[in-house]
A and B are shown apart, each in its own frame.
Chain A
Amino acid sequence: DGGITQSPKYLFRKEGQNVTLSCEQNLNHDAMYWYRQDPGQGLRLIYYSQIVNDFQKGDIAEGYSVSREKKESFPLTVTSAQKNPTAFYLCATQRWQGGGYGYTFGSGTRLTVV
């Protein structure tokens, strides 16, 4: 059954630590995206990748890093430089759905700084 797997579902980070959020897909989609959701701010784009070994910064890339070494995987690292990392993180792939491109989302990772 095709889909997107985000892990872990809940993650706790101490101040000053780097953490990596996993996103794996078996949908064979080229484009992958990372968003974060904060209350009242909707979904904001962190990074995206249209193809393997290539990625671009989104609107709020500072304090984050990504890699895209294989089509199936697009991990997101939240570094200690990210000042307010507590949020709900969503990974998505993009597909043609008739008339335009839409997203399929994973189930998300809730990151909390303790």
Chain B
Amino acid sequence: DQQVKQNSPSLSVQEGRISILNCDYTNSMFDYFLWYKKYPAEGPTFLISISSIKDKNEDGRFTVFLNKSAKHLSLHIVPSQPGDSAVYFCAASVMSGTGTASKLTFGTGTRLQVTL
């Protein structure tokens, strides 16, 4: 059962425009969400995160929006740059009651291509 879903395997956007990557989840217990960026043959790198007490978090060109009622989050990249071309994974976790670390569940990824 895929608890975190990225329904768009790929996305192509022109340089300078907005890129919007979407992610849906089914487990209502998830309360912390992250986006990772991955280049081929490299490990993913952390991009931005949001906890369930917020609905928006912004870091430079990257903004993550969380809609808890719809169990949906999105990553906005504005403006998009050629170096943003990569695979983007969303991930979710459930914070344990003791505040200890818990595993992340990943989506299948969206390949973003930023064209000139």
Contact = CB atoms under 8 A, between A and B. Distances in A.
Asked if A pairs with B, the answer is yes
Nearest to A108: B43
B4 to A, nearest CB: 8
B48 to A, nearest CB: 10
A101 B32 contact: yes
Given A97-B46, A101-B93, A101-B101, A41 B51 contact: no
A102 B49 contact: yes
B95 interface: yes
A74 interface: no
Interface of A: 4, 6, 30-31, 33, 35, 40-45, 48, 50, 58, 88, 90, 92, 94, 96-108, 110
Contact of A103 (B31, B46, B100, B109): B46
Contacts of B25: none
B26 interface: no
A102 B42 contact: no
Contacts, number: 71
Interface string B77-116: 0000000000001010101000011111111110000000
Interface of B is mostly: loop
A14 to B, nearest CB: 23
Given A33-B103, A58-B103, A110-B41, A100 B108 contact: no
Contact of A97 (B6, B43, B49): B49
A60 to B, nearest CB: 13
B64 to A, nearest CB: 11
A45 B95 CA distance: 18
A45 B107 contact: no
